[in-house]
Amino acid sequence: MTDFKKLLNSHANLVESTLEGLLSHEIGNSDDELEIEVARPGRLVHAMRHSSLDGGKRLRPFLVMESAALFGVSPEESVFAASALECIHCYSLVHDDLPAMDNDDLRRGKPTTHKAFDEATAILAGDALLTLAFDVLSRKQTHPDASVRSELVQLYARNAGLGGMVGGQMLDLEAESKTPDAMEITILQSMKTGALLRCACVTGAVLGGAEQAQRMGLLQFGNQIGNAFQLADDILDVTSDAETMGKRTGKDADKGKGTLVGLYGLEKCRQLLDVYLEGAMEGLEDFGPEADILRETAQFIVDRKN
């Protein structure tokens, strides 16, 4: 296993144990003196655990932890912000898989949450994962400074919500009944998929108290890997299979969905991936070897097979 894969695994393990703790059946695992929760319904906890534990590449938390590491923030210090972002990602997958959205049966090689439970439970599990993310961000474990925590709350809300991921999902649904051009596809994808990835990179800058130029560099890196991630996903949707991906493939063509692969073809899209990769590397220009892991992450996104 390469050193990069080992690090990806060890960060994923830390996120897994943090989520495990957050999603315990018992109340009383927050750092607040005043406990406000009343009861945790067992079925809902089970559905949230099904949706978020033991699965996924944990790429967004990895990006949080490695961008924070640029500023000397340890994985143990960044893991709560990282896990909060993973909760938002998992909620989006649960809701995206619902019959009213993508209607999928398979996610991360397992039955989707509404298949393993039922639709109402899946909606609630997604809702509760989203709200849990903001609970976690508000905790002192995320950062001792309240102004940093408050900045993170705003950053996550704006990237996850109306002008970010949820807005992008709306544009994506609308795009099923028209033929979007390349610009429209790029904008909707930079919201639907890119928002959480760039949020991850900027989170590292916020946790680490980065200077503005460093923050802008990480923003550029996040934007470009977001573009690359979605384009790689669209290519894999055409070239890979459900067993490798752990989810249904061929979906875009089935739905007649406009993608850059559909507009430009595979060859040109592979070239475009290299352009995005170059842009991502440029974003890290002000950083030295300490950013090599992030550089490898960009390469991993472009080369990934699932």
Binding residues for ligand GRG, per CB under 6 A?
56-57, 59, 89, 92-93, 95-96, 101, 108, 165-166, 169, 192-193, 230, 233
Task: Provide, rounded to whole angstroms, the least separation between the CB of residue 26 and ligand GRG.
Answer: 27
- Smallest gap from Cβ 193 to ligand GRG, in A, equals 4
Residue 96: CB minimum distance to ligand GRG, A: 4
To ligand GRG, the closest distance from the beta carbon of 31 in angstroms equals 27
Q: Which amino acid, one-letter code, is at 138?
A: S
**Residue of closest CB approach to ligand GRG:** 56
Rounded to whole angstroms, the Cα distance separating 292 from 4 reads 10
Q: Which is nearer to ligand GRG, 92 or 113 (CB)?
A: 92
d(CA 235, CA 229): 10
Smaller CB separation from ligand GRG, 78 or 92: 92
Residue number, 92 or 190, with CB nearest to ligand GRG: 92
- Quote the least distance from Cβ 234 to ligand GRG, whole Å: 8
CB 251 within 8 A of CB 103: no
Comparing CB distances to ligand GRG, the nearer of 207 and 228 is 228
Pick the closest to residue 138 from 275, 268, 31 (CA basis).
Answer: 31
Joined tokens for residue 151:
């900045």
Nearer to ligand GRG, 202 or 225 (CB): 225
What residues contact 141, with CB distance under 8 A and at least 6 apart? 31, 80
CB 93 → ligand GRG: shortest distance, Å?
A: 6
Whichever of 50 and 192 has its CB closer to ligand GRG, that residue is 192
Answer for the pair 200, 270: CB distance below 8 angstroms, yes or no. no
